[in-house]
């Protein structure tokens, strides 16, 4: 896959060099000198128009990287985790990337996307600023099957909902799972029935809700610091 943009490319080059096949630059000073030296045999200089074509018009900032396709986590790796976030029918790569970034920073061990057939992992890597490369992430089509399996593996399952109990009032088991629904539909009704409870964020002002990625960061932080 091709990723582009200075921040995500530098992250990949510094932390996942073994997965990088080629580095494309529009100018010599687009990356630090030590990285230019390190990736010398794998570096190709291209004209800006070529870089624009490779990034499909995105803001490449003079740096593009071709690397191995993203490898999804398997079911057993997810079950070995302590804190798992499940995305129920989220498709916006900007929101997903922001959630991955916050989840990685705040201690989530794995993320599972449900209700989607495929995702643009290159875009998610970019919008997560590279955190995707260090976050076990997988796609499972059926959220009901996933929740059943996770509950059988000892997970307590919670969902984010405006009608839920304020998250700051709660304590959570060591093995815990948070479901985040799409902004337009929320968590599906059948999935909601399998949850052990729902959590909410108390608003200080009268307002409908937060963006799903902002809400995710707040709830993940609370769940990371409120174990039984």
- pLDDT of 123 over the 90 cut: yes
Q: How far is CA 221 from the centre of its chain?
A: 15
Q: Could you report the per-residue pLDDT of 56-68, keeping only the tens digit for each?
A: 999 999 999 999 9
For CATH 3.30.1330.30, list the domain ranges present in the chain.
2-67
Regarding the domain delimited by 75-224, which CATH topology (the fold level of the hierarchy) does it fall under? Answer: Alpha/beta knot (3.40.1280)
* Stronger pLDDT, 228 or 37, i.e. the higher one: 37
pLDDT score for 37: 94
- SS3 per-residue string spanning the chain: CEEECHHHHHHHHHHCHHHEEEEEECCHHHCCHHHHHHCHHHEEECCHHHHHHHCCCCCCCCEEEEECCCCCCCHHHHHCCCEEEEEECCCCHHHHHHHHHHHHHHCCCEEEEECCCCCCHHHHHHHCCCHHHHCCEEEECCHHHHHHHHHHCCCEEEEEEEEEEEHHHCCECCCEEEEEEECCCECCHHHHHCCCEEEECCCCCCCCCCCHHHHHHHHHHHHHCCEC
Domain 2-67 has CATH 3.30.1330.30: yes
Across the range 117-141, mean pLDDT stands at: 96
- pLDDT of 6 over the 70 cut: yes
pTM exceeds 0.85, yes or no: yes
For CATH 3.40.1280.10, list the domain ranges present in the chain.
75-224
Distance CA 171, CA 185 (A): 27
pLDDT score for 186: 86
Residue written as token pair 């943009």 = 5
Q: Could you report the per-residue pLDDT of 69-109, keeping only the tens digit for each?
A: 999 999 999 999 999 999 999 999 999 999 999 999 999 99
Measured CA to CA in angstroms, residue 193 lies from 133, 157, 159, 162 at distances of 33, 11, 10, 16
Q: Of the given ranges (28-32, 44-48, 181-185), which has the lowest mean pLDDT?
A: 181-185
């Amino acid at each position: 896959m091709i990723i582009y943009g200075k921040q995500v490319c530098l992250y990949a080059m510094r932390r996942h060099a073994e997965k990088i096949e080629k580095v494309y630059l529009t100018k010599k000073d687009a990356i630090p000198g030590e990285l230019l030296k390190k990736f010398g045999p794998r570096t190709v200089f291209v004209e800006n128009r070529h870089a624009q074509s490779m990034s499909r018009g995105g803001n490449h900032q003079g740096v593009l990287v071709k690397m191995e396709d993203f490898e999804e986590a398997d079911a057993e790796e997810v079950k070995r985790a302590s804190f798992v976030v499940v995305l129920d029918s989220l498709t916006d790569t900007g929101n997903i990337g922001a959630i991955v970034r916050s989840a990685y920073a705040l201690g989530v061990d794995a993320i599972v996307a449900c209700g989607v057939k495929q995702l643009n992992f290159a875009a998610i890597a970019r919008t997560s600023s590279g955190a995707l490369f260090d976050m076990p992430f997988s796609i499972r089509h059926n959220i009901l099957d996933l929740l059943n399996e996770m509950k059988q593996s000892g997970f307590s399952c919670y969902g984010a909902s405006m009608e839920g109990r304020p998250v700051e009032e709660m304590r959570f088991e060591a093995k815990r799972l948070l479901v985040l629904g799409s902004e337009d539909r929320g968590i599906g009704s059948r999935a909601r029935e399998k949850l052990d409870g729902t959590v909410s964020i108390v608003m200080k002002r009268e307002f409908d809700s937060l963006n799903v990625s902002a809400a995710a960061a707040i709830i993940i932080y609370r769940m990371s610091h409120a174990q039984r």
